[in-house]
Amino acid sequence: MKTRIRTISFYPEFSCDGAACPMNCCHGWLIPVDDDAAKRFRREKGLFGLRLKLALGRKKEQATFNRMMMRCPLLDLDRLCAIHKKRGEACLPEACRLYPREWANLGDFVERTLDISCIRAAEIFLKSDSGEELGLSWTEETGLWETPRAGDNDDPAFLEELVRQREDVMRQILDSDADTIPGLDELVYSLAGQAAVIQSRYLETTQTGLKRIRLFPFSIMLLNELMSTCFFEDHLKMTEPVLYRMCRSYYKTFDRLTEIEGQKLLDDLCERYFAPGGPGSVRSFRRLFAYELIREWYESYEDYSFVRRIVEAAIHINMVLLFELLAFQKGEKPDLKKRALILAVYEKRTHHNGDVLGQMVKRVGERLFPVDVNGENV
């Protein structure tokens, strides 16, 4: 069936670095194996078939590789995939074949973006910050699309409304001159208020009166609450050592400080980081905020949680900023590769872990709303 295919501008630039990748995607998480691939692997004969069968695990109803979330057992010592080498790309599980390409089939149209938990995709995203539309323009074509539509909702009128709402939100972000800390803070807060009003049309329990808290950057106490969720756990030392060291750097820097001392240090780091001639750019965080909303806005097609979309995007830009500030304080040069590493490692931990992000959203929601109504505000 022919459909409209919309593609984010930098999508075609991606190509896998293979063995040269500094942050291999075959390490640190469960790898889902689709049913067709699992059947192929179970039919494989000989020693390679045995290796595949031993590698296959299961979580609930989902076949997986890498159940210990360490190094995928199909990743060879040359840092290349044994399946790809022996049977070709077509034989890979769908998740491995597509990553980091994201395809959202919404029935009336398809959108293609890049998952920036891949360090190469993160580099491409950061490098493409130029020109109009913050480098977030689209191309559109009509073509055949065979993958199933996402989700269970089938409400064309609501989908049209979602499209208009996202266009309005994007226009506000793109047209904004919020390239100062107070400006971006005000923009995020304004959009959170608008999202609450939109959400109240669909979920009667949603409050529309938000408390005025700082949304860029978050206060040191709110950042500490986010770090104290399951975002940071001891097993990261083995499964995600880069993120583990980033988190340890936070605790070494702020753990012994009082709230006043910690807030003063955070404010000082922000001032120096974003000072004229400094390495930081508020524009880059406005752009990241926009891209997070582009990727996640249509989740509201299923859960109607518009406020959650804004809160999630706010969490992402604040946590990435925190880790960039910590690297800056240690004297590390925040060049493209360093920023891409921070972004990719953080995204891998949150975007692909609903429990982690859920806890973080709840902490922000508790501060943003005077009373949380059955958790439905976010």
User: What three-state secondary structure class fits 50?
Assistant: helix
Which residues, 6+ apart, have CB-to-CB distance to 119 below 8 Å?
21, 22, 23, 340, 341, 344
Together in a domain, 86 and 171: no
Q: Answer yes or no: pTM beyond 0.85.
A: yes
- Residue 54 resides in a domain: yes
Say if residue 205 is in the same domain as residue 296. Answer: yes
In a domain, 87, yes or no: yes
Contacts of 221 (CB under 8 A, 6+ apart): 259, 262, 263
Query: Do 71 and 182 have their domain in common?
Result: no
- 324 touches 318 (CB < 8 A): no
Within 8 A by CB and 6+ apart from 334, the residues are 279, 280, 324, 327, 328
Same domain, 84 and 175: no
Strand partners, 140: 6
pLDDT of residue 228: 96
What pLDDT is stored for residue 98 in this prediction?
93
Query: Both 56 and 193 in a single domain?
Result: no
Query: CA-CA distance, 56 to 65, in Å (whole number)?
Result: 5
The tokens describing 51, both together, are 């290796």
Sheet containing strand 2-8, edge to edge, reads 101-105, 109-114, 2-8, 138-144
Looking at the structure, do residues 164 and 304 belong to the same domain, yes or no? yes
Residue 128 lies in a domain: no
Total domain count, the chain? 2
Residue ending a domain, among 62, 79, 98, is 98
185 lies in the same domain as 37: no
Last residue of a domain, which of 98, 118, 147?
Answer: 98
First-last CA distance in the chain? 36
Q: Are residues 70 and 206 in the same domain?
A: no
Instruction: Tell me: do 297 and 228 sit in the same domain.
Output: yes
pLDDT of residue 374: 43
CA 292 – CA 297 distance, rounded (Å): 8
Q: 81 is in which domain, residue-wise?
A: 26-98
Domain-embedded: residue 216: yes
The pLDDT profile of the chain, 378 residues, written as one tens digit per residue, is 789 999 999 999 999 999 999 888 888 888 999 999 999 999 999 999 999 999 998 877 889 987 777 889 999 999 999 999 999 999 999 999 999 999 989 888 999 999 999 999 999 999 998 767 788 999 999 988 877 777 778 888 999 999 999 999 999 999 888 899 999 999 999 999 999 999 999 888 777 789 999 999 999 999 999 999 999 999 999 999 999 999 999 999 999 999 999 999 999 999 999 999 999 999 999 999 999 999 999 999 999 999 999 999 999 999 999 999 999 999 998 899 999 999 999 999 998 899 999 999 999 999 998 755 444 567
